[in-house]
Amino acid sequence: MTPAPSEEHRLITDTDDGLLLIISGPSGVGKTTITRGVERSIPGSAFSVSCTTRAKTLADVEGVDYHFVSDDEFERMKAAGEFIETAGVYGKKYATPKAWVFEQLKRGRLVILEIDVQGAVQVKRHVPGAFSIFIVPPTEEELLRRLRDRKREEHEQIQKRFAQAKAEMESARASGVYDLFVVNDTIDDSIRRAVDMVIAERARRHRV
């Protein structure tokens, strides 16, 4: 007798607690620190590594920071339906590999995607049950200060990023895809709140 699709290749360690978590936020808000904090705090978490066409820097580690691919390879994978979402950022392409995400979810893991609003909208179409968090700064002035304090860019580029950040926050609220908005006042409190909300959501779904 052929097993039901949901039972195929099931391992003894598999559970039904798989949850797809989306974390988004504008540049400079601290979302990567919060994402990594959630990953470290919840056992069984798996951070999804995106594919990108941007050039690999000396600080990048293949398979840890990104999967670096050529533009032709990216388009081939996109045409083959291998991505759950794609996005263009500053002229470069980014995408989340679909097969890996669904495999980890089947294993009962918390799969974390750090993606932008347009990516979150796409993911919600594929996985309506994804739990999504958007990180916002205490104030726009504080966000601008944080962008300046990074000392990575000139004034003109900082102002451009600030304008894009404001537009992204407006887009996030208008999209209707986010379950929770977390104000990143202090990083430890923000991580704790995000972790608490994810744990509560998994418990709620388990009860249902």
Instruction: Kindly report the length of the chain.
Output: 208
Chain mean position to CA 95: 11
pLDDT, tens digit (0-9, with 9 covering 90-100), for 152-198: 788 888 899 899 999 999 999 999 999 999 999 999 999 999 999 99
pLDDT, tens digit (0-9, with 9 covering 90-100), for 117-164: 999 999 999 899 999 999 999 999 999 998 898 877 888 888 998 999
* Residue 208 pLDDT level (bands cut at 50, 70, 90): confident
pLDDT, tens digit (0-9, with 9 covering 90-100), for 6-32: 445 655 555 567 999 999 999 889 999
* Residue 201 pLDDT level (bands cut at 50, 70, 90): very high
Given a cut of 50, whether residue 77 has pLDDT beyond it is yes
Count Cα neighbours of 161 within 13 Å in the Cβ-side half-sphere: 20
Alpha-carbon distances, residue 33 vs 61, 84, 206 (angstroms): 18, 24, 28
H-helix segments, the chain: 31-41, 71-79, 98-106, 117-126, 140-149, 155-175, 187-207
CATH number of 16-207: 3.40.50.300
Q: What is the mean pLDDT of the chain?
A: 90
Neighbours of 117 (CB within 10 A): 25
Question: pTM of the prediction?
Answer: 0.85
Kindly list the domain boundaries of the chain, sorted by start residue.
16-207
Find all residues with CB under 8 Å of 136, minimum gap 6, and list them. Answer: 25, 26, 29, 169, 181, 182, 183, 184
pLDDT of residue 173: 96
pLDDT, tens digit (0-9, with 9 covering 90-100), for 35-51: 999 999 999 999 999 99
Find all residues with CB under 8 Å of 145, minimum gap 6, and list them. Answer: none
